[in-house]
Amino acid sequence: MFGSQSFVPGGTTTVTKVLGILGSPALKGNTADLLEAVLAGARSKGAQTERLNLAEMEFSPCLECAGCGPDDMCIMADDDMREIYSRIRAVDAIALASPIFFMGVTAQTKAMIDRCQNYWVERFVHKKRAYVGRRRPKGLFVSCAGSQRPIVFEPALHIVKSFFSAIDYEYVGEVLLANTDDPALAPRKNVALEKARIEGAKLCE
């Protein structure tokens, strides 16, 4: 968890804060392992890290209530989305991790993303940029797929890049592991874990 030393008076940060959001219902699956490697890589560079498991949080999907206002808070935010909202503008990077379910991100991940429509309205309707004069936070995508179809990650990549754009983050890349159905997964997973640690460290540059 972020410690109190992660913030200094005046709202400036001295320590890189990296938030991992796990959108997989499997809290100890391949996707979770890759996300943990990203966070370990970030910690190796001195970052403070935190992981939120969407499957353990309770929040409604977007109800298209047309209530998105000029600030960055959803008017129906009286649920666990508060935990996400409170961190989006406070961290330096988010690693969003979701396996591929039916060619897209999981329902948990998509529900969280849709509940960020308020940020899309802030940026593209009210033309407010969140990070004027300072570096935008970084967004990294982590994903696994059972199959090895060449296009298996493409729809999810479009969704995730759209998400990071809406919250005004800089999309910096992805760590992908296909063909997790393969019984001989271990060597390829080790390569992906190493890439995840490297990408996690790069979040702190």
**Would you tell me which residues interact with ligand FMN (CB under 6 A)?**
24, 26, 29-32, 99-103, 144-147, 152, 180
Q: 21 or 166, CB closer to ligand FMN?
A: 21
Nearer to ligand FMN, 30 or 48 (CB): 30
Between 132 and 186, CB nearer to ligand FMN: 186
Dihedral sign from CA coordinates of 150, 156, 162, 165? negative
Q: By CB neighbour count within 10 A (0-12 exposed, 13-18 middle, 19+ buried), where does 24 fall?
A: buried
Which residue in the shown chain puts its C-beta closest to ligand FMN? 29
- Specify the residue, 152 or 167, whose C-beta has the smaller distance to ligand FMN: 152
Which residues, 6 or more positions from 166, have their beta carbon under 8 angstroms from its beta carbon? 116, 117, 119, 120, 123, 124
The distance of closest approach from Cβ of residue 97 to ligand FMN in the complex, given in angstroms and rounded to an integer, is: 8
Residue reference for tokens 């030393």: 5
Tokens of 176: 């992908």
Distance of CA 37 to the CA centre of its chain: 14
Amino acid at 101: F
SS (H, E, C) 10-58: CCCCCCCEEEEEECCCCCCCHHHHHHHHHHHHHHCCCCEEEEEEHHHCC
Structure tokens at 14: 């001295």
At its nearest, how many Å lie between ligand FMN and the CB of residue 150? Answer: 11
Q: Which is nearer to ligand FMN, 136 or 146 (CB)?
A: 146
CB of 60 to ligand FMN, least distance (A): 21
Least Å distance, CB 195 to ligand FMN, is 16
Closest distance to ligand FMN from the beta carbon of 182 (Å): 10
Show the tokens assigned to 136. Answer: 């935008």
DSSP assignment letter at 124: I
CB of 158 to ligand FMN, least distance (A): 15
Question: Among residues 29 and 83, whose Cβ is nearest to ligand FMN?
Answer: 29
